[in-house]
Structure 1
Amino acid sequence: MNALDFFEARLQATVSPMDYLNMKKMNPDKYFLIDVRNGPEHVRNIIIQGANILPEQEIQNRLQEIPKDKEIIVYCWDVWCNTAAKVAKLLLERGYIVKELTGGIAAWREMNFPTSDTAQQEAFSIDCGC
């Protein structure tokens, strides 16, 4: 593989936080964002706003929750984490259209993009009587 092929493949397989935010604004119903991080809930309590929480270890059993008619964006912790890449590969093998959010939640937070606190979301859903 030459450098041009490498960078073309990289751009097809990934999306930057800024590009994702812009794409989502232009076409909000086209994308399905998944937080695939593993680990205790207390360390995963901050998520990207609007993300669906499907830890990598649960993906196999929860595939029915992932829509086939949307472009799937997966993210994990940071550039050093390959969990999102593992999930992307699994989903691609099953016919999904998938990209990895580069830099994970760390890059998203570094840019001060919108996040949610899962503890507050749970408290709200309990308190509101939904």
Structure 2
Amino acid sequence: MLALDYFNARLEATISPMDYLKSKQIDPDKYFLIDVRNGPVHLRSLTIKGTKVIPQQELPDRLNELPKEKEIIVYCWDVWCNTAAKAAKFLLEHGYKVKELTGGIAAWKEMNFPVSDSIQEVSMSDSCRC
């Protein structure tokens, strides 16, 4: 593989946090963002605002929650984690259009982009039942 082929493939398979936000401003319905991090809930309570949380281990049982018409963006912990790559591969094998958010939640937080506390949101909605 030539270097140019590698970088073209990499750019086709990933999206940076800045490019994601910019594209969402232009077309808010283009993407479906998924937090695929595995691990204890208390460690992954902070998520990117607007994220659907589906741990990578649960993807096979929760495909019905994903829209086929949107481009799926997956993210995990950081650049050293390959959970998002595993999730992307699985989703591609099942006919979804997928990209990985480069840098994961760590890069997102480092740039001070919008996050939410999923534990707080879940517990508030569970207690309300409105």
Give per-residue Cα distances to partners, 1:31-87, cap 9 Å, x unaligned: 100000000000001000000000000000001111100000000000000000001
Identity of aligned residues (%): 68
Q: Which runs of 5+ in 1 are unaligned?
A: none
TM-score normalised by L of structure 2: 0.96
Residue in structure 1 matched with residue 125 of structure 2 by the alignment: 125
Distance 1:77 1:26, change over 3 A: same
Cα-Cα RMSD: 0.9
TM-score normalised by L of structure 1: 0.96
- CA drift at 1:127: 4.7
Q: Which runs of 5+ in 2 are unaligned?
A: none
Q: Superposed, which structure 2 residues align to 1:39-50 within 5 Å?
A: 39-50=39-50
- CA drift at 1:30: 1.1
Letter in 1 for 2:91: L
- CA drift at 1:128: 4.1
| CA distance in structure 2 between the partners assigned to 1:63 and 1:129 by the alignment | 25
Q: Superposed, which structure 2 residues align to 1:103-114 within 5 Å?
A: 103-114=103-114
Residue in structure 1 matched with residue 54 of structure 2 by the alignment: 54
Letter in 1 for 2:116: S
SS of structure 2 residue aligned to 1:29:
coil
After superposing on structure 2, the runs of 4+ consecutive aligned residues of structure 1 that deviate more than 6 Å are none
